[in-house]
Every structure is written in C-alpha cells, then in structure tokens.
Amino acid sequence: MKNAPDRKAAESANTNADSAPLQASLPGLERAAQAPTLPSPNTRPAEALALLLKRGALDQRQFLDDAGGWRLAAAVHVLRGLGWHIETEYAPVTLAGGEPGHIARYRLDRAAHATHQAGGIAPELAGWLALLAVVFLLPLVKRHEDLTP
C-alpha cells in the first residue's frame, strides 16, 4: 500500500542496553548455571526422566517394559535440551541372528546436577569482602559492646 504506516518493531526489554546482566559489572563473580527444566507432564521425556531418577540407568528394553515407549533416544535428546546431564554408555548384546551388537544405556549424571546450581565467587573477591567486613564491622561490634551494660 502506498500510504501504509511504517511499522517498526519496538525493542524488547531484553535487548535494551540498560538490561546488562549484573555479572558484567561485578568481576570475580561466577554466574550459577541454569537448573534443568522439567519436561511437560505425561510425555515420553517425563516418563524417561522419572525412570532415570528411579532406576539410575535405563535402556530401550526397560523403557519399553516400564513406560511402553519405543523412542528412548528421542526422549533423552529432549531431556538434554532441557539441561539434564545424561551420559550414554554402550553395552554389548547378542542380536536375534546371533551376531554381536550394542545397546545404549542412559545414566543421569547426578554429580553434575548436585553442583549444577552452585554459583561461585573468586577467592580474591571473597578475601576482599572478608577484609572489608572486618575493617567496617569489627568497630561497630566493639562500639555496640561498649554501649551495652
């Protein structure tokens, strides 16, 4: 159209220059990693996650027996996309024709999830903060002790 108004998309609040993360302005702080997201309920990824948490390890046969699902690898792929650390190991099996093969067994990496949400602080920054606390808070505590009967 000739006289159509010029439609320009408004900037999102997330793209504003004033919305820089706090971490950028405080060197020495380590941003905590994102916690894994739970999958939607009543889905194959949710069933796979429940079985991984219950059993510790899971293969396609167990997933088929316990959840009735055929596509465990697809469910694991979705879980990894949601931030879950899942390890894959290949176990040897004998196929129907008697020839050797491998089957994937998936295991939830519990160590990665135990420390996953812990943020960190650089030791140098922690030292400076402790020094500041002693320099500024110790006189206040002593003063308070002197004032109390």
Q: Is the model's pLDDT at 30 over the cut of 70?
A: no
pLDDT band at 20 (very low <50, low <70, confident <90, very high): very low
Out of 34-43, 59-68, 78-87, 120-129, which region has the weakest mean confidence (pLDDT)? 120-129
Task: Count Cβ neighbours within 10 Å for each residue of 10-38 and write b for 16 or more, e otherwise.
Answer: eeeeeeeeeeeeeeeeeeeeeeeeeebee
pLDDT band at 17 (very low <50, low <70, confident <90, very high): very low
Q: Is the model's pLDDT at 19 over the cut of 50?
A: no
pLDDT band at 16 (very low <50, low <70, confident <90, very high): very low
